[in-house]
Chain A
Amino acid sequence: MSLFDKYINKLKKQKLADEAVYIVTEDSVSIYGGDVSAELMHTANELKAYCLLYIRPSEPFMTALEKAAEGGEFAPNDSETRTFLHTVPVADDFADVSQALKRRKAVFVRGHGIVTAAPFGAEQAFIFASSVLFSGFVKFFSDTGEAALLGKSCDTESALRLLAEYIENFHHTELPELDRDILLSDESILSSMAQAGRATVELGLVDSFFGNISVCHDKNIYISRTGSSLDELEYEIDICPTDESTCTGLTASSELASHRKIYETPGKQVILHAHPRFSVIMSMICVEDCENRGKCHYACIKKRYVGSSPIVPGEVGNGPRAMVNTLPSAMRDNDSVTVYGHGVFTVSASDFNDALRLLTETETAALNEYQSILLASQTSTRSPR
């Protein structure tokens, strides 16, 4: 199976897209995944991009994207959009796609779906498309949630309908039983990580290319590599000595520094990090007037929670605004911490069962809190004044 077919299957299996087509232009043109409209083909010819991916998102993502795009180009304040996409341009039809793709990685076309252009091929195009999917979803639900909380006019009805559809198709609370004695050998550690990563993706808690996972054992941190898929971690784990006596961990997750600092607290053995959609959304919904508004992702000083998971600010990786300065201290007293607009980190003292349970519980709490906001808003709108 080609890489193109692999990612088309992945998009469909994860119920992210109803249609997915790759147009691949090298010294000849190949098409994977079905028929291509003349308009899209024209775009591919015009751009001469190596790899063009078109997806028609499945529901509720398509409607969420349509609504996010109502005001044109959009840019929610989540970490993925801020760091990698910057903004998501919106086109009215395929004729406008090539212009948008000359400056951005992906574009949303009203009534059709997402088009991305990727010089590195199938995998990169898949990442761009799933990032836009995430971005549009977060944009619609965070804007609607915040408006509802402020009592402003918003499309509560659509949000509740899409939320119900999302819960039915994507929210799972039944947890698989994961390996228990994971520290027996390198092999048992690596296979337990691959198993937990796969379970995290299958539970819909992260799109496969995001998130990371680690185990600390015997002066080593076993951590997923940067750019690895959580559902395909076999051979994708770096073993980094805690004394930093080698740089082989240079390809480790960009959150290695945070993981390392978290493990400085005794009793933490494994870390699981995912981007559950509603935990991210709820971490961004805040209506308090504050001097740091607009800088919430790195300077939030309010005590806020998703369920019982405290929310901390922090950017990806390193630097003065990075989560390495906020997350590890918050994790000293909490086994689940949510990073603003980014995702949830959970820890456990033994294996991944508790970490996965905490992740799921945080997301369930986020969904319930979100639903309550919408329902309360609906009730107050309907109540006679």
Chain B
Amino acid sequence: MHTGKILSVNLTNLSWNILPLEKCIYDKFIGGRGLSGHLLGTYLENNPLIFCNGPLTGSGYQTSARCAVMHINPKTGGLFRSDFGGRFASALKNEGYDGLMITGRAESCISLVIDNGVRFADVPRGYATVSPGADRNIKYCKIISDGFFTSHRGGTGTMMHRMNLTAIGIRPSGAPQAPDTSAYEDIERLINAAPSLTGRLGIGKFGTAALYDLTRARDILPNTFFNLPQPAANTNACALGETQSVSCGGCTIACRKMKNGLRVPEYDEFAMLLCMGVPFERIIETYNHCMKQGIDIITACHCIAQSGMDPEEFLYDIPEEFYNGSDRFAVKGVELPAIAPNGALGVALGYVTSPNGADWTTAMALTHEILRKPVPTDRQSAEGKAVINIAYENAKAASDSLPVCRYALFAVSLEEYAKTLNTTAAKLAECGSDIFMNEINIIRRLGFGIETDRLPQGALTPEQQTGFDAELKKYHRMRGLA
């Protein structure tokens, strides 16, 4: 399950050593996101870049081929947390490490290779890789793993450029077999029972852009906060036609899609680009250009809205004044993703309470407010969302630490994941709470106080704001933050 070792690499003097970790750390922080947070909190002053796998890495469980990444956000000075798919996490574990922590800055551009030790050399062909997008100037540059998978938001690529780190390569491990356990069967049954995952219209068939029709029908696309016209109804994931599925490791959902050798955009990017007016027939090409450059499309689209420029012109030659992004519609300096807060108040609450800044993947309120799982809730009301968001924030923090994919939480709960580790759902939720609160402590140290838990001006109507503020206060009381 755990190797008990973290590989620590210092790029300034090109040295490395192994940090042993006590079992009690794993008992509290599990692995993945939790372990990354523990390391970031411990070594915050060194401004480290951290990658962690978790106890399910390499186990063959569905959606477990994820790698957690965490560091100080170069754009905001706050916390950056994300995860990505591919072979990187299992390769790292196969080399004997639960995590990789990189500090310092190399004198000139180098690559880091991990194969039975550490080398600073070109990454051999076929290795599991992480590399930054090509754009060295922007502060919202993403990473690419195995040339295909990316982190959800930008910043890690910027960190790597600053460190003069061109790539990280790890000798790949073999593909794990699906375990023959009742926990695997229970999880698979729930994945198969979820229309949003494996249904005829689900993300398994159309990619995560399948969510677009739902948010459009509910009028909660980003055009509402940019005050732009709504994109046409027929420019949706179905209209992209036949695609090929790509899975992160042994994932049975396989929500990553390709068409003609190019990646199909994810939900947030798809919705953002359409709202900005990128022609539907050029959306895949534009997305793939941004991916290669490492451009965080969400941030870039906020800049486009602010600049009034033609979107493609902007994305192919980002003006210098937008290297820092935009903070007009942002929480803790992080621009709102593609769900308008005024049409989903649980999502809105999740934006302000996330240690990551505006991020719907921290409290996952989309799951119940839009997808109706595990039960539908009233998206127009903030009432009762504090307690639900806390439960989901804890569950998400725990599942990110196993780690498993955020989309699996559309169907699977901690009860099923607990069985994979022979523990209880309650214990995982308790760990999730510790992991989340550790991140809150980190952002406090970085200067983000409780007063930064707020939406951009005018995001809600005055009536909505009153109910929202009351629920936010309740949230702070329940978290012990008031």
Contacts and interface: CB of A to CB of B under 8 A. Distances in A.
Interface of A: 26-27, 47, 50, 82-83, 86, 101-105, 119-121, 123-124, 127, 225-228, 240, 244-254, 256-257, 260, 315-319, 321-322
B198 A250 contact: no
Contacts of B210: 247, 250
Contacts of A127: 375
Given A83-B193, A120-B377, A250 B202 contact: yes
Given A27-B477, A50-B387, A247-B201, A254 B195 contact: yes
Nearest to B388: A120
B271 to A, nearest CB: 13
Interface string B315-359: 000000000000000000000000000000000000000000000
A14 B375 CA distance: 20
Contact of A248 (B217, B234, B391): B217
A307 B212 CA distance: 45
Interface stretch (B130-138, B153-161, B423-431): B423-431
In the A-B complex, the 5 residue pairs with the closest CB atoms = A102-B426, A119-B391, A319-B192, A317-B193, A316-B193
Contacts of B194: 254, 317
Given A26-B478, A119-B391, A248 B214 contact: yes
Contacts of A246: 201, 213, 233, 236, 238
A26 B387 contact: yes
Interface in B180-196: 186, 188-196
A257 B200 contact: yes
B103 to A, nearest CB: 39
Given A247-B206, A317-B195, A121 B384 contact: yes
B387 A317 contact: no
Given A248-B214, A250-B214, A256 B387 contact: no
Interface of B: 186, 188-196, 198-202, 206, 210-214, 217, 233-234, 236-239, 368, 370-377, 384, 386-388, 391-392, 415-416, 418, 424-427, 474, 477-478
B424 A250 contact: no
B238 A247 contact: yes
B200 A244 contact: yes
B199 A83 contact: no
27 contacts: A26-B386, A27-B478, A83-B189, A83-B193, A102-B425, A103-B426, A119-B391, A120-B391, A123-B375, A127-B375, A225-B376, A227-B373, A247-B212, A247-B213, A247-B237, A250-B201, A250-B214, A251-B371, A254-B194, A254-B195, A257-B200, A317-B194, A318-B192, A318-B193, A318-B200, A319-B191, A321-B192
Contacts, number: 142
A225 B372 contact: yes
A311 B38 CA distance: 54
A105 B198 contact: no
A194 B234 CA distance: 29
Given A27-B477, A86-B416, A251-B372, 10 more contacts: A50-B387, A119-B387, A120-B388, A244-B238, A245-B239, A250-B201, A251-B195, A317-B198, A318-B192, A319-B188
Nearest to B473: A27
Interface core residue of B189, B239, B377, B424 (most chain A CB under 10 Å): B189
Contacts of B186: 86
Given A27-B474, A50-B387, A247-B213, A315 B192 contact: yes
B213 A226 contact: no
B388 A247 contact: no
B375 A124 contact: yes
Nearest to A319: B192
B427 A227 contact: no
A256 B190 CA distance: 16
B415 A104 contact: yes
A252 B474 CA distance: 33
Nearest to A261: B200
Contacts of B195: 226, 249-254, 256, 317
Contacts of A317: 192-195, 198-199
Contact of A226 (B198, B233, B373, B426): B373
Contacts of B376: 123, 225, 227-228
A86 B416 CA distance: 9
Contacts of A83: 189-190, 193
